[in-house]
Amino acid sequence: MRQIHSIILFSVLAALFLFTINCEKEVIKVIDDKDLPIIETAPSVIALSDTTATIFWETDEPCSVRVFYGLISSQDTLVQSDSEFRQIHVITLENLLLSSEYFYKTASTDVAGNVTMTAASTFITSADTANFLQYAWEKFSEGSYLESLEYFQQYHSFNPEEPDALTGTGWCYSKIDSLDPAISAFDEVLETDGLYVPALMGISVSYYKNEDYFSTIQYCEELFLVDSLYTFQHDSAYSPQLIRFITLDSYSTLNMTDEAIYYINNYFSGFYINSEDSLWIIGDSTYVEIEDAVSVTVDSIQSYIWGEDFP
């Protein structure tokens, strides 16, 4: 019996010895491993949406991995990692921008710390055209006119018959004072639908900002005929009162005094000029020329409506 116990004990000790020796060999092997991981299947995009991209690749040995990525147009680089040691790698990049070009490259690190980097590749996220108009008007309301313009233009490239996208393009150009492109965009809409109210208001404002007062009057009067109560739904500063004022100011600037007086007397409560008077008292000053009285009154109305800056 004692002999059997001795044999068993010897066997266990021998097994432990062999296991220890093998472990030491494995540690030595890992320490001495200078071979870079081999990319057996090159990284590629296997799934792509408007805001995500899934990258797949394979290595010849288990590796932890990282994906470096970013917009082609930007210097910023983001990193997505997986610390698990695997040979098959699937990394999904999230929160990407719509219809945008990205670069990406991978880093695969084996247990010994050897790293294999791949060359940069690119992909372009898809366009969520169904929601582009919503995104565009949201950005417009936030005051992000350049970003809004990009959404409108992309939507228009997919749906060139949609007047709302082209109208939005015109409004963005008008907001950033690119007035000729703004007027061209509104013109294109009105050639198809001369009663399209958002475009009528947009072109009226753009001509006014461009100091083309005859055209301002023309389109303001057309807007009044179609909808005299219209307020631009994406910026309530563009109201009937504002359009009345830019019409008044255009008449005044062109020295069309009778028309300007008509607008003052009929559309701006608290302001009145009697064309039959020989002197006009405006505030603390007296004016001999009616044109001067009209001009000062217009300035007072402007201060009342929007102060120093046009919306």
pLDDT tens track for 33-43: 899 999 999 99
Does the residue 90 lie in any domain? yes
CA atoms within 13 A on the CB side of 6: 3
User: Where are the strands (E) in 52-199, listed by range?
Assistant: 53-71, 78-93, 101-109, 115-117, 121-124
Does the residue 281 lie in any domain? no
pLDDT at 11: 52
Residue 190 belongs to a domain with what CATH number? 1.25.40.10
User: Same domain for 92 and 119?
Assistant: yes
Are the C-beta atoms of 53 and 93 separated by less than 8 Å?
yes
Instruction: Report the number of distinct structural domains present in the chain.
Output: 2
Angle at 309 between CA 308 and CA 311, to 5 degrees: 145
pLDDT at 308: 73
pLDDT at 99: 77
Which residue do the tokens 């010895």 mark? Answer: 17
Reading the block at residue 141, the tokens are: 């309301």
pLDDT tens sequence across 179-188: 999 999 999 9
Angle at 9 between CA 8 and CA 12, to 5 degrees: 85
User: Same domain for 142 and 117?
Assistant: no
Residue 60 belongs to a domain with what CATH number? 2.60.40.10
List residues bridging with 181 in a β-sheet.
Answer: none
State phi, psi for 156 to the nearest 5 degrees. -65, -35
Reading the block at residue 129, the tokens are: 């055209």
- Provide the domain limits for residue 101: 39-124
In this prediction, the residues of the chain whose per-residue pLDDT falls under 70 are 1-31
Helix axes 213-226, 240-253, angle to 10 degrees: 150
pLDDT at 283: 83
Does the residue 102 lie in any domain? yes
User: Same domain for 154 and 219?
Assistant: yes
pTM (predicted TM-score): 0.63
Does the residue 194 lie in any domain? yes
Nearest to 54 by CA among 87, 102, 115, 116: 102
User: Same domain for 143 and 188?
Assistant: yes
The residue among 124, 146, 169 that closes a domain is 124
